[in-house]
Chains A and B, each alone.
Chain A
Amino acid sequence: MTGRGFSLQDADPRSDEELVDAANRGDAGAFEVLYFRYRDWVVSLAFRFTRNRDDALDVLQDTFAYLLRKFPGFRLTARMTTFLYPVVKNLSLSARRKRARYVSDEDALTALAAPDASADASRKQLAVVLAGLSDAHREVLLMRFVDDMTLHEIAAVLGVPLGTVKSRLHHALSALRKDKRTREYFEPS
């Protein structure tokens, strides 16, 4: 969702690497394109961790302030989402600590899933089952299937072996498959 009616990412054909190069040369417009390209993903990820709209918006600004300070001289050696993920996560966890609000894992996921009234029943059930997963399993599941990171990228970001990522993913999917509330996702349609 956006506050304006257009997305710069659709209008600019340059790759992230090209935009980074341009920003290194002092092109503020290139940085702006990067911002709009990743803005919604960053704020969604921040909200996933903070469960607070204002904190998520603060993390959004802080994330891009952090990225901005890298210029000139920034080298993009991974995908932008892979680079930004730990930044957003750390800023979000700091925001939560500052707010001094304890949000249990269960609360977090229950809230994450607070599907709106129009969400269908299966999505609501999915939210409840997700809340029952451990932080580690749920995080890997979302990084892989929502943030679209490869397993190697997840392993690098989390600082764990590749096999551990696979193990956590297997466990998360197995839990969803076995739970009668989410089993239908795995049944042939």
Chain B
Amino acid sequence: MRDTDDSRREEPEPIAPQRLKEDLAALSRAGFPVPADVDDAVRAMARRHFSARKRVRHTVGWLAAAAAAAAVILAVLWTSPVLQRSISPSAMLQDIDRSGRVDILDAFALARLVENSTAPRREWDIDGDGVVGRRDVDAIAMTAVSLNKGDLQ
């Protein structure tokens, strides 16, 4: 009998007696308990997975906000004359990644530092309000778009 054709498609569904089903189920059971350490391992795996997802969402949120702020400022200032300014010591403090220039990468770097650090440094308080946070990231973004090419030299 070929068993890969579809000729029985219209036939009624075969049924099985209840006792047969019960005995099939009994024979199919694993027959051993799942150890508690397996349950614990799955729980731990799930906690790690969902915790990691929360951290990624939070960090991406920060970086996206910093990038959005810088993009808005850039869009506004791009249509205005770019002012030449002398480089102040405070601008040098904003060169977070020590690249020799203040640019949007420093804003991103500060956002990451603030996100991951448990002891913010005083020099990260860019706007001098006594709090290290998003405003300081925005301040660097402002500097980045106001300096001529962001160079400190």
Q: How far is the CA of A68 from the CA of B49 in the complex (A)?
A: 8
Query: Which residue of B has the minimal Cβ distance to A173?
Result: B14
Residue A167 lies at the interface, judged by CB distance under 8 Å to chain B: yes
> Cβ of B8: which chain A residues have Cβ within 8 Å of it?
163-164, 166-167, 170
Q: Is the CB of B28 within 8 A of A1?
A: no
A-B pairs under 8 A by CB, number: 154
Chain A neighbourhood of B72, CB < 8 A: none
User: B14 near A166 (CB under 8 angstroms)?
Assistant: yes
How many residues of B are in contact with the other chain, CB < 8 A?
43
B45 touching A43, Cβ below 8 Å: no
Interface residues of A in 57-107 (CB under 8 A from B): 57, 60-61, 64-65, 68-69, 71-72
Task: Let me know if A108 is at the binding interface, CB within 8 A.
Answer: no
- Other than the given A35-B42, A115-B27, A163-B9, 11 more pairs (CB < 8 A) read A1-B32, A28-B49, A44-B30, A53-B32, A113-B27, A123-B26, A127-B27, A142-B24, A145-B16, A170-B14, A173-B14
Q: How far is the CB of B13 from chain A (nearest CB, A)?
A: 6
B23 to nearest A CB, angstroms? 5
| B6, B25, B33, B42, most chain A CB atoms within 10 A | B42
Bound CA–CA A117/B20 (angstroms): 19
Q: Known contacts A44-B30, A162-B6; is A60 also within 8 Å of B24 by CB?
A: no
A-B CB proximity, top 9 nearest? A163-B6, A163-B9, A161-B6, A1-B33, A166-B8, A28-B50, A3-B36, A185-B20, A47-B30
Q: Which residues of A contact B (CB under 8 A)?
A: 1-4, 23, 26-28, 31-32, 35-36, 39-40, 43-44, 46-48, 53, 56-57, 60-61, 64-65, 68-69, 71-72, 112-113, 115-116, 119, 122-123, 126-127, 130, 136, 141-142, 144-146, 151, 160-164, 166-171, 173, 176, 182, 185-186
The reply to whether B50 and A176 form a contact with Cβ atoms under 8 Å apart is no
Query: Measured between C-beta atoms, what is the minimum distance from B133 to chain A in Å?
Result: 24
Contact for A167 among B5, B26, B28, B50, CB less than 8 A? B5
> Nearest Cβ distance between residue A31 and chain B, in whole angstroms?
5
* Beta-carbon contact of B53 and A72 below 8 Å: yes
- A24–B94 alpha-carbon span in the complex (Å): 39
Contact B46 A167 (CB under 8 A): no
Contact residues in A for B51 (Cβ distance below 8 Å): 28
Known: A26-B53, A32-B46, A64-B42. A164 touches B3 (CB 8 A): yes
B39 an interface residue at 8 Å Cβ cutoff?
yes
Taken residue by residue from 7 to 43, chain B's Cβ proximity to chain A (1 for < 8 Å, 0 otherwise) reads as: 1110101101101110111111111111110110111
Chain B residues engaging chain A, CB cutoff 8 angstroms: 1, 3-9, 11, 13-14, 16-17, 19-21, 23-36, 38-39, 41-43, 45-47, 49-51, 53-54
Query: CA separation between A44 and B24, bound complex, in Å?
Result: 12
Assess whether A71 is in contact with B49, with CB atoms less than 8 Å apart: yes
A3-B20 contact in complex given A72-B53, A142-B28, C-beta closer than 8 Å:
no
Query: B15: nearest residue on chain A (CB-CB)?
Result: A173
Contact of B27 among A26, A123, A163 (CB under 8 A): A123
Given known contacts A26-B54, A163-B5, is B26 in contact with A119 (CB within 8 Å)? yes
